Amino acid sequence: MGLMILLLNSCNLNVKKQVTECRVPKDEFFNYLVVIACDYNLDVKYRDDKNGSMILSSASIINDSIGKVNVWKIHYIKDTVYAYAQIKTIKQNKYGTIIGTDNLFIDDDTSKQRFWYWKIREYIEKRCGNKTTLIEIERPSLFDF
């Protein structure tokens, strides 16, 4: 019984999504964001200026079987930027087949040493000229922004 409760609780993870009012043109916002992201070893994995979506990520190998990926997912809809950051841990077997993943969603409780998080977070507020609000949501799906 205790194990079942633990499993159910682990499936119902809440995440703090960042919400920032913004009136900067989308293409301008994303162009400057790319420059900041490169400074912190984040690559553009997906960008769609028309629909206001961007995914930034950087990968690091820990050893032969574990890798970590820092990810920012950003969606700019109308006059609002929605964003969240996560660290994905990917485990693979000796043949390179992925055998498991884990997601740690990052918010303002994270260490100041995670520069990749804080510099993008600060950029969004500075560029938009507004403070970011953190809103707790249920764990987002793979494609949710």
Q: What is the largest CA-CA distance in the chain?
A: 53
Domain ranges of the chain: 14-138
The pLDDT value recorded for residue 140 is 61
For the domain covering 14-138, report its CATH number. Answer: 3.30.530
**Mean per-residue pLDDT over the chain, rounded:** 84
Contact between 16 and 134 under an 8 Å Cβ cutoff? The reply is yes
Rounded Cα distance between 129 and 138, Å, is 27
Extract the tokens encoding 8: 């159910």
Give per-residue pLDDT as tens, 79-132: 999 999 999 998 888 887 888 888 888 899 999 999 999 999 999 999 999 999
Q: Using CA atoms, how far apart are residues 124 and 76, in angstroms rounded to an integer?
A: 11
Give CA–CA dist 15/71, Å, rounded: 14
